[in-house]
Amino acid sequence: MSGTINNTINSIECCEAGMQKKTVFQGSGPILKKTKLSISAHQVKDNNEASECQDKFDDMPDCLILHILSFMETKEAVRTCVLSKRWRNLWTSILCLNFNSKSFHRLADFKKFVLWVLSRRDSSLVKVLTYCRASVDYATDQNLFNKVIDHATSHGIEEIRINLRAKICGSPPVDIPLSLFNCQSLKRLELKNCHPTNVSLPLTCEPMKKLLHLEHFTVDPDRAEFSNSFACLANLFGFTTLTTLSLSNMTLSCTGIDSLNPFVNCVNLKNLHLSKMSFKSELVPKDFVISAPRLNHLTLTCNRFKCKIVVAAPQLINFSYLYFSPCAFFEFSIPSLDDLTFDIREPNNQSEEPHQRRGQMTSHGSINMIRGHHDTKLSFSTAEVTCGIAVMPEKEERSSISKWKSLNLHAGSTYKIFINNLDHITAYFRRFSQNEDFEIVTV
């Protein structure tokens, strides 16, 4: 540890740009300068050889330090104020606020800390807000929550992640501040463990959100206006601008509708992930239609839909399905299945679903692919099926089946066979069909 704080690495161009406060680092990239660089390069080299020690942060532009701090919890970032005079007020300009009550012994301390941080942060922008308040009881500090959200939404927030987990039981009630719904700068919103009490608010103007992730988000199905929870969510958050929608661990209701088509207004939706979703038992639609004009990726994981799932997404390129409900029934209404990748799996007993019984023989239900247009070709690049029933429509022409590049079959986790033509596939299924779970329909 020699005290050589004689830095010569001063030509990192970002220093110049970075010293100006409030520079957004992504945009403030350096430009290759051809002059003077060769001289400084030698200095850098010599200096490096002469001494390996130097105050490393001394030649680091503020923008880079802020970048590092933005990956930490705000509490940790604030603690850097005592490092040296240079660091004293650096944290007040961080672009990412990350509050987590778990880092505090008492919720009272957490509250004081959050309010203190907000009061210290003049007009600096906030790009990302992470707010996790795990309460011991079934209560949310509404006042604090409002202050944090209001601060973020008035400082150019782009991404918000909220988790209000109660220790004893899931989703505590919360009034979602109006400013959150009307925030125009917001692009990504994640809400976990929330039970909003003011969900009947009409959407005045839809923000340009791109991503919405809701998890353990309770929509009260007993109240009259929630006869269709999806419509309620769409009304609340606005679905039309979304490119990614992810819903997880939610119980929904749907009454009086034969065919539920909740995503029909998602005109920009490219990615849809539904996991651990279920309908309230007696309130089940006959058909659950997933119809979105631009949908590319559809992931269904461990949902309990006791109804037919109709996928009508003309631009679908990837369909991933993790089994849960034994009576899931699919219908694909897609003009072309060319280059569509199917990935159908059962819960892996190690990772995906811990409550799935080990070694249990399951069938993922029938996957019935009915094609609306008979002149299109069925060509899977990969179809991954876990021992179950594969029902192909009888109208299917043999020639189109032969276009299957490969069928990857897993029986449990032990078999992995690649089969190139239908005879082998049926032979394969026959071999494993002593078990009553299997039914083989050949073309």
User: What is the binding site for another protein (CB under 8 A)?
Assistant: 1, 3, 5, 9, 11-14, 18, 25-26, 29-32, 34, 37-38, 40-41, 44-45, 48, 52-57, 59-61, 63-64, 67-73, 75-76, 78-85, 87-88, 104-105, 109, 112-113, 116
* Of 116, 121, 62, 119, nearest in space to 96 by CA: 121
Nearer to another protein, 67 or 297 (CB): 67
Q: Are the C-beta atoms of residues 254 and 279 closer than 8 Å to each other? A: yes
Nearer to another protein, 83 or 327 (CB): 83
Q: What DSSP assignment string belongs to 306-333?
A: -SEEEE--TT--EEEEE---TT-EEEE-
Nearer to another protein, 55 or 338 (CB): 55
Nearer to another protein, 82 or 224 (CB): 82
- Shortest distance (Å) from residue 325 CB to another protein: 27
- Shortest distance (Å) from residue 209 CB to another protein: 22
Place of tokens 């969900």: 199
Nearer to another protein, 74 or 193 (CB): 74
The separation between CA 171 and the C-alpha centre of its own chain, rounded to angstroms, equals 19
Q: Are the C-beta atoms of residues 408 and 387 closer than 8 Å to each other? A: no
Q: What DSSP assignment string belongs to 224-262?
A: GGGSBHHHHHHHHH--TT-SEEEEEEEEE-B-S-SEE-T
Nearer to another protein, 12 or 391 (CB): 12
| CA gap 295, 398 in Å, rounded | 29
Nearer to another protein, 45 or 286 (CB): 45
Return the C-alpha torsion angle 263, 268, 269, 271, nearest 10: 170
- Shortest distance (Å) from residue 105 CB to another protein: 7
- Shortest distance (Å) from residue 205 CB to another protein: 32
The amino acid that residue 105 corresponds to is H
- Shortest distance (Å) from residue 242 CB to another protein: 23
C-alpha distances in angstroms, 375 versus 312, 318, 344, 396, 424? 18, 21, 25, 10, 25
- Shortest distance (Å) from residue 49 CB to another protein: 10
- Shortest distance (Å) from residue 28 CB to another protein: 9
Nearer to another protein, 112 or 430 (CB): 112
- Shortest distance (Å) from residue 73 CB to another protein: 7
* Of 435, 278, 300, nearest in space to 361 by CA: 435
* Of 36, 29, 24, 27, nearest in space to 14 by CA: 29
Give SS3 for 369.
coil
Place of tokens 């782009």: 158
Whether the CA torsion 391, 393, 398, 403 is positive or negative: it is: negative
- Shortest distance (Å) from residue 133 CB to another protein: 15
Nearer to another protein, 44 or 174 (CB): 44
Nearer to another protein, 85 or 395 (CB): 85
- Shortest distance (Å) from residue 3 CB to another protein: 8
| CA gap 143, 340 in Å, rounded | 49
Give SS3 for 404.
coil
